[in-house]
Structure 1
Amino acid sequence: MTIAIEPNPAGLYIHIPFCISKCPYCDFYSITDHSLKKKFVKALLLEMSLYKSVPLIYDTIYIGGGTPSALKSKDIGQIIETVFNLYKITPDPEITIEVNPKTVTPGSLKEFKQTGINRINIGVQSFSDEYLRFLGRIHSAMEAKEAIAWAKNAGFENLGIDLIYGIPGQTEKSWLFDLKTAIQIEPDHISCYTLTYEPKTPIYNHMKSGAFSPMPDFLAGSLFELTSDFLENCGYIHYEISNFSKGTSKKSRHNLKYWSDAPYIGFGPSAHSFDGTSRSWNVRSVADYIKTIESGLFPVEEKEVLSKEQQIIEAILLGLRKKEGITISNFNIKFGLIFEEVFKETISDLKEKKLIALDNNQCRLTKKGTLLLDSICAMFTLNEF
């Protein structure tokens, strides 16, 4: 895989594919059989060595999953040490680990902190035991609060939590309870995701069988607006559709790379890599991943080279997810065109409907437009070229 040198630092993503229990709504690759843990870590370190000649500098390391905290801290420490031994890392990297409240203790969190990790993201999802049961989470609301307190005591000064809304039966009142509880805990970052029903997941099958009805789109939309208004009033920056930070310095530097067309390399089963013009992804099976690497081969399943048109549409979709939107001058330089001329009719229509705004070299969604992201992006059609 050839990756061109970019002026901005790149990111490293490390996928840990093990979970204690598979959440019924989750579409990310993971397994509950932990018998291959030792072989997996060995294979992961070998995969990292295959990319050591890539001429990039990195300023973010993100350990996701799955449930990374299903690994022992010594394994996480070895992974981070290998990264620093093999790659050029900036002096102030953001190093994140995702954890499940049920898989951490005061001691393990302190050990994670000692490995060099300086940012932690806790998968809370809800502070209601009723909704946690519906989501198939293995922790309780109390255990989530304990894990957050333990993480703070361990010395994490950049702490994020994930929450889910749009759960069947959820009301504005019950969702506001989750948000108010979160605010009392004072996390540095809050990600609020709408519950989605991905095909082939257990929750999708249950919905299709008539076991429950999904929340209507209009109600999910009202919860989104409630979320944005409430958290912004509490001092959080709504910097991306699903993400809020307590100040600019607490934004997820790693995730911003995904929304800004920055290069990144992904390690582990199913992990994706992007070099600015092409995307590749690894095999999903842990066993196949290990076998391929033990054979001395790259575990890449497939690679996709993006056409100029595909790059343009992705830049629009990802750019509009961010609060500041698309930086028009950067867009024009990158693609050799004039944004406001190429999409003149679409921009005019969207501005008239007050769905987008153009000012200070930015094209961004209005609050009203944010609810219609997918529909708006579909309007930037390629037949305008």
Structure 2
Amino acid sequence: MNSINSVKNPGLYIHIPFCVSKCFYCDFYSTTSISAVSDFLDALFKEMEMYCHQFNPIDTVYIGGGTPSLLNPEQLEKILTRVRTNFNLIETPEITIETNPADLNRSFLESIFKIGINRINIGVQSFDEKVLDFLGRRHSVKEAISAIEASRKAGFKNIGLDLIYGVPGQGIGVWLNTLKQGVAFSPEHLSCYQLTLEGKTPLGVRCQAGEFSIPGDELQYEFFMKTSGFLEDAGYIHYEVSNFARGKEHTSRHNQKYWNHSPYLGLGPSAHSFQSNQRWWNHRSLEQYLSAINEG
């Protein structure tokens, strides 16, 4: 079990806002303006210098998005170098990166493991091609499997899979098959999210237009209970609403900060921060974010 002090130490969240394309259900802020990566990194490093003295020591770093795996290893190394320069990072930090399976190969994974990233979340979402197509994911089942296997071979000992249930037409059987395939890789962590549709997303618009309906409460409850029962039988502990870990040592130290009201600093566009019962957030626009940081 993580100590209370570990939970109460500040955590650092870094939002990488770039995506090749927007998944049909996603309401997180992202942009396809990948040519702006250099300008973004310059602003990110300035923002670190602005806030680092308020958040120390930190014991978790979470690189989310967006799609952080669109950055190359050299860019990710620059980010972590600046983190270590500006913050008092404890000796055994949890450093997580979110990834898309389509971006992952053995060389990339070995490189990011060597620079100190020790926890990887892979956005598998499903092991069913029809579900992936419905969600607008840009990876295939084959790519997801390859990414998981390559992550293990690259040295990662803390691998998490993100999965989504409650997809229209998915059915309990299809979902349980995805869980079985996921567990077969013995990931240390599983995040199983119920599909929620925000109004302005492509799927949200289609749902409001009556093209399909999401599962009702009774079926969603069945999805939830089947998920919890299956994963607990497989040796996972159900430690948060959507999160399961293979032992307490593999729970997400960073995510627990949100649940335990620990301080955390969010850097990058749309990122949220919390400290001393105060919450604030950055502009949900790369252009506005860059302008605000450059103006100081």
Q: Is the shorter-chain TM-score for this pair beyond 0.5, marking a shared fold? A: yes
Give the aligned partner of residue 140 of structure 2.
140
Give the aligned partner of residue 285 of structure 1.
285
Q: Could you tell me whether the CA contact under 8 Å between 1:261 and 1:276 is conserved in 2?
A: no
CA, structure 1 residues 290+109, in 2 after alignment: closer, same or farther (shift >3 Å)?
Answer: same
Using the alignment, how far apart are the partners of 1:185 and 1:115 within structure 2? 24
Q: Could you tell me whether the CA contact under 8 Å between 2:118 and 2:156 is conserved in 1?
A: yes
Given the alignment of the two structures, is residue 107 of structure 1 paired with residue 115 of structure 2, yes or no?
Answer: no
Give the aligned partner of residue 62 of structure 2.
62
1:238 shift after superposition: 0.3
Larger Rg: 1
Q: Could you tell me whether the CA contact under 8 Å between 1:165 and 1:193 is conserved in 2?
A: yes
Q: Could you tell me whether the CA contact under 8 Å between 1:262 and 1:276 is conserved in 2?
A: no
Using the alignment, how far apart are the partners of 1:100 and 1:289 within structure 2? 24
1:103 shift after superposition: 1.3
Give the aligned partner of residue 200 of structure 1.
200
Q: Give a deviation string over 1:68-109, Cα, whole Å, max 9, x none.
A: 001111111111111111111111100000000011221111
SS in 1 for 2:223: helix
**Residue correspondence of structure 1 range 344-355 to structure 2 within 5 A:** none
Using the alignment, how far apart are the partners of 1:24 and 1:282 within structure 2? 24
Using the alignment, how far apart are the partners of 2:251 and 2:230 within structure 1? 18
Using the alignment, how far apart are the partners of 2:184 and 2:152 within structure 1? 14
Given the alignment of the two structures, is residue 9 of structure 1 paired with residue 9 of structure 2, yes or no?
Answer: yes
Q: CA RMSD in A?
A: 1.3
Q: Give a deviation string over 1:127-151, Cα, whole Å, max 9, x none.
A: 0000000000000111000000111
1:55 shift after superposition: 4.9
Q: Which letter maps to 1:202?
A: P
Following superposition, which runs of at least 4 residues in structure 1 exceed 4 angstroms of deviation? none
Give the aligned partner of residue 265 of structure 2.
265
Using the alignment, how far apart are the partners of 1:25 and 1:6 within structure 2? 34
Using the alignment, how far apart are the partners of 1:219 and 1:37 within structure 2? 42
Using the alignment, how far apart are the partners of 1:103 and 1:261 within structure 2? 33
Q: How many percent of aligned residue pairs carry the same amino acid?
A: 49
CA, structure 1 residues 234+83, in 2 after alignment: closer, same or farther (shift >3 Å)?
Answer: same
Give the aligned partner of residue 76 of structure 1.
76
TM-score, normalization by structure 2: 0.96
Q: Give a deviation string over 1:269-321, Cα, whole Å, max 9, x none.
A: 000000031100001111111122122x2xxxxxxxxxxxxxxxxxxxxxxxx
Q: Which letter maps to 2:212?
A: F
SS in 1 for 2:54: coil
Give the aligned partner of residue 227 of structure 2.
227
Using the alignment, how far apart are the partners of 1:270 and 1:54 within structure 2? 19
Using the alignment, how far apart are the partners of 2:152 and 2:7 within structure 1? 35
Give the aligned partner of residue 153 of structure 2.
153
Q: Could you tell me whether the CA contact under 8 Å between 2:10 and 2:57 is conserved in 1?
A: yes
Range 206-215 or range 153-162, more displaced: 206-215
SS in 2 for 1:29: coil
Q: Give a deviation string over 1:178-223, Cα, whole Å, max 9, x none.
A: 0100111110000000000112111100101111111112101101
Q: Could you tell me whether the CA contact under 8 Å between 2:12 and 2:62 is conserved in 1?
A: yes
Give the aligned partner of residue 87 of structure 2.
87
Give the aligned partner of residue 187 of structure 1.
187
Paired residue total? 292
SS in 2 for 1:52: helix
SS in 1 for 2:30: coil
Structure 1 unaligned segments of length 5 or more: list them. Answer: 298-385
Using the alignment, how far apart are the partners of 2:191 and 2:86 within structure 1? 31
Structure 2 unaligned segments of length 5 or more: list them. Answer: none
Give the aligned partner of residue 246 of structure 2.
246
Using the alignment, how far apart are the partners of 1:248 and 1:212 within structure 2? 39
Range 123-132 or range 28-37, more displaced: 28-37
Higher RCO (C-alpha 8 Å, min separation 6) = 2
Q: Give a deviation string over 1:233-266, Cα, whole Å, max 9, x none.
A: 0000000110000000000000000000000000
